[in-house]
């Protein structure tokens, strides 16, 4: 039994890769899967903050890659879900500390430990860190914001996923690509300030697996170290739950795509 490897990537920075990685991994754990989420952003580690385990990092991904610690020592067990583990990045090293052989060893090790899913949180860019994060993947979640530069960078990433990965090099079946649209603001789409879901799908030529509405809850959740998928009252959290269900093969209609009707007072006083 080998673990399914999912890379969360985008090319562009600041679009919500780490937020998505945290929520995706948590969502899969809620569904009963054994999940490890790895921060590939060596030197700029953030995932541990979003997952709320930053004070429990003793050994990290780079230590394991270099054989300075075992996987067991470096995996941080989540406090909320016992099948969820975090492998933090090193803050004091840079991307060159990762090697292809080292990464492969860690992923093989996780398979042997009986993990169902490994979520790889890719750094921005298309250089070494991003390359290694996507190289071994079976699935890719490409995070895109509804604006032109993010869409173009995602297009580049989709091209790389189809050519610069182990599956592509071996001629295996293609990586399963999932397009996730984040920071979607229906009101701004309505007035033409943002690209619509259809615009993005048309330009990239693939359908979205989910649309996460722009929401204040995301920032609040990040700051308190709780993946936003656990905030059941927020639209963003619910949209992530839908997305995880779709990645697991369930059919769910897209939600939160329309402009919210404003209440009477909001209409009078603006809001």
Residue with smaller CB distance to another protein, 126 or 229: 126
Give the nearest distance from C-beta 165 to another protein in angstroms.
Answer: 14
Minimum Å distance from CB 255 to another protein?
A: 28
Nearer to another protein, 113 or 155 (CB): 155
Which residues of this chain interact with another protein, rule CB under 8 A?
A: 152-153, 155-156, 158-160, 162-163, 202-205
Q: Which is nearer to another protein, 118 or 124 (CB)?
A: 124
Residue 156: CB minimum distance to another protein, A = 4
Beta carbon of residue 218, minimum distance to another protein (angstroms, whole number): 27
Q: How far is the CB of 112 from another protein (least distance, A)?
A: 33
Give the whole-angstrom CA distance, residue 171 versus residue 151.
27
Select 66 or 152, whichever has its Cβ closest to another protein.
Answer: 152
Minimum gap (Å) between residue 148 Cβ and another protein: 8
Comparison of 58 and 148: residue with beta carbon closer to another protein: 148
> What would the two tokens of residue 96 be?
């060159």
Cβ distance to another protein smaller for residue 156 or 255: 156
The residue whose two tokens read 């079976």 is 138
Residue 264, both tokens: 């009477």
């Amino acid at each position: 039994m080998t673990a399914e490897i999912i890379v969360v990537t985008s090319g562009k920075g600041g679009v919500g890769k780490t937020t998505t990685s945290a929520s995706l991994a948590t969502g899969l754990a809620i569904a009963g899967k054994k999940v490890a989420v790895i921060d590939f952003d060596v030197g700029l580690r953030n995932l541990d903050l979003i997952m709320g385990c930053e004070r429990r990092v003793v050994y990290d991904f780079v230590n394991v890659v270099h054989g300075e610690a075992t996987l067991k020592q470096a995996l941080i067990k989540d406090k909320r879900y016992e099948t969820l583990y975090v492998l933090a990045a090193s803050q004091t090293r840079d991307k060159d500390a990762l090697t292809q052989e080292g990464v492969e060893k860690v992923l093989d090790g996780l398979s042997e430990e009986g993990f169902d899913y490994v979520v790889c949180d890719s750094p921005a860019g298309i250089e070494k860190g991003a390359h290694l994060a996507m190289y071994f993947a079976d699935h890719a979640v490409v995070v895109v914001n509804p604006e032109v530069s993010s869409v173009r960078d995602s297009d580049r990433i989709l091209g790389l996923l189809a050519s610069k990965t182990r599956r592509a090099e071996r001629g295996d079946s293609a990586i399963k690509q999932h397009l996730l649209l984040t920071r979607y603001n229906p009101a701004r789409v309505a007035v033409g300030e943002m690209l619509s879901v259809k615009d993005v799908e048309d330009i990239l030529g693939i359908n979205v697996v989910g649309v996460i509405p722009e929401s204040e809850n995301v920032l609040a959740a990040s700051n308190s170290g709780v993946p936003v998928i656990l905030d059941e009252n927020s639209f963003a959290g619910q949209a992530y739950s839908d997305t995880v269900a779709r990645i697991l093969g369930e059919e769910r209609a897209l939600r939160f795509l329309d402009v919210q009707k404003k209440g009477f007072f909001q209409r009078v006083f603006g809001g």
